[in-house]
Structure 1
Amino acid sequence: MAQPSKQQKKTVLITGCSDGGLGAALAIAYHSSGHRVFATARTPSKMAFLTSLGIETLPLDVLSEESITACVSSVSKLTGGTLNVLLNNAGAQYNMPISDLSIPEAKKIFDLNVWSCIAVIQAFLPLLMEAKNGAMVVNHTSVGSIAGLPFQAAYNASKAALAMFSDILRLELQAFGIKVVDLKTGGVKSNILANLTHTELPSDSIYAPAREEAERMLSGEKLGALKGTFVDADVWAKGVVKDLTKANPPYQIWRGGSAWLGRLGALLPVGMFDGELKKITGLDDVIRKIGEAKVNTAASEP
């Protein structure tokens, strides 16, 4: 394992590090580079593999003020009151057409993907400010923060909100010598789609005529066409850590399969990328099916 010099060694806390996820991959990459990592998750038993590698693990429910406070206290005692890198990775995805969106479920996504990150940053800020060899906040957003995908509005909007918070926080913390990085990830092999729980349309959905096609979108099955471009999590994580450990890390990091497509789509005139987006997500199949249903309905009317 390559060891950085004592001066370069960082203390890194990462949220959402359950085995098999992107947080775990980041923890392993940082650990392999010789840095001291505090991997956290709501359920510590889900970090058994990380523990077996010698990575320090701590319980942290980012939605619990009490848990956040306890984690800050633990890290403070373990490090002497400092922290170099806070990486907000914990998050979840919720797919549903806006017309069928459950507002309570969407609020849960924002609570986890946005407000919990702000709460964690606020809590760890005193430790970051005490870091003697540089401090950094990394917020894991997504290429979806700038390239909206049909049926993923709540998730994409939450990541866009976190991206804006990151951009403003970058300016606000400059006076304190704390860097802020927006990590925009594209296609990476992970368990996020396997953890989706809302993959069925409501019975009264306006997309009912294309239910089969729409539910393929909700499950992420239609993204299978892109899976050939999905990179392995360990390869992605090594690249991210390489970027983050540069002397002057970029304020945005674009990593993962087809990340460049999201970046390109943000630069093109509105609508120019729509055709490719419909094909990638499967919305073209939904539109076709609904069109067929309208024709059949019209033909059956007297």
Structure 2
Amino acid sequence: MSGTKRTVLITGCSDGGLGSGLAIAFHNAGLKVYATSRNTAKMKGLEAMGIETLELDVLDNTSIEKCRSQISQLDILVNNAGMGGQMPISDLDVADAKKVFDLNVWSYLTVTQAFLPLLIESKGTIVNQTSLASITAVPFGSVYAASKAAIAMFSDCLRQELKPFGISVHDLKTGGVESNIWEKNHYELPKGSLYEVAREAVEHAMSLENIHDEAVPQAPWAAAVVADLLKKKPKYTIWHGSSVWLAWFGTLLPHGLLDGTIQKLVGLDVVEKKLKEAGK
């Protein structure tokens, strides 16, 4: 396949999302891009740029196989599709939590298995979007963080398992980046929540507005990620986005040392104050 343009398939590429940003960056870098989403109508912006879009519902085996049948060569697979989830553990709907894991963990493995024969043939690359949440415990974001921590560990194991086949596996630890995901961040505490006394503060924390305010622009983030991945020997872990170095540094500190800082960031200090005022 010498002289053939390198190819990349990215999941979760709805216009305005991180997958869309990565698709544009890979396209600008000269690669053949397959941008995928379960609804191709949400990728009109990418189509207008000449990027090929394909339907792919990563939670549907039939859809995965259909997409796989349309591709004859693949050098890079980027598992990016995902969903968030903010709620105190005491108020968690376990059924909803399982949906987060279905998309953020199990779909990554299912899609990887489907495209693995092509990646073995090309001695290609797998990239998993794990986020800083995989290493940073933020109150109210436990399910999302746990799902990202899970796929980070799967990635590390997969990296070792596939090394004999010439495949490299990379963990994309993304910090705050401007994206349409912020438009979906509206979470409400259920009635009777333990945190009812500080509802306003907690719901504000669950909105992630503080992180959004510090988010970096999407285009330079995506360009930096792609530049790192296209190096001759990319690092196993790619760090880009707001707060990445703080999160990395936090992994070197004694466990729990940053708890106070994080708790203030999400308003748990207000919760504690309100509980004391209420005599609880």
Aligned to 1:147: 136
Q: Which residue of 1 is the match for residue 87 of structure 2? A: 96
Give the conservation status (yes or no) of the 8 Å contact 1:144–1:262: no
| Identical residues among aligned pairs (%) | 54
- Structure 2 counterpart of 1:293: 278
TM-score after normalising by structure 2: 0.96
Counterpart in 2 of 1:106? 97
Alignment partners' CA distance in 1, 2:136 and 2:195:
22
Pairing of 1:137-286 with structure 2 (within 5 A)? 137-196=126-185, 199-223=187-211, 227=213, 229-286=214-271
Match of 1:87 in 2: 78
SS state at 1:217 partner = helix
Residue 36, structure 1, aligned to residue 32, structure 2: yes
Indicate the SS of the match to 1:253. strand
C-alpha distance after superposition, 1:194-230 (max 9, x if no partner):
1235x11110111111111111112223435xx2x32
Q: Matched residues in 2 for 1:267 and 1:210: separation?
A: 32
Displacement of 1:177 after TM fit? 0.3
The structure with more radius of gyration = 1
Contact 1:84–1:136 under 8 Å retained in 2: yes
How far off its partner does 1:137 sit?
0.3
Partner SS state of residue 183, structure 2: coil
Q: CA deviation at 1:23?
A: 0.2
How many Å separate the matches in 2 of 1:203 and 1:48? 40
Residue 60 of structure 2: aligned partner:
64
User: Secondary structure of 1:257's partner?
Assistant: coil
- 2:55 and 2:256 map into 1 onto residues whose CA distance is 45
Rounded Cα–Cα distance in structure 1 between residues aligned with 2:227 and 2:209:
31
Length-normalised TM-score, structure 1: 0.89
Q: 2 CA distance for matches of 1:264 and 1:287?
A: 27
**Structure 2 letter corresponding to 1:102:** D
Quote the RMSD (CA, aligned, Å).
Answer: 1.4
Q: What is the CA–CA distance in structure 2 between the aligned matches of 1:17 and 1:230, rounded to whole Å? A: 19
Offset at residue 271 of structure 1 (A): 2.1
Q: How many residues align?
A: 279
Which residue of 121, 130, 142 corresponds with 1:130? 121
Partner of 1:13: 9
Unpaired runs of 5+ residues, structure 2, are none
Q: Give ranges in structure 1 of 5+ residues lacking alignment.
A: 1-5, 77-81, 298-302
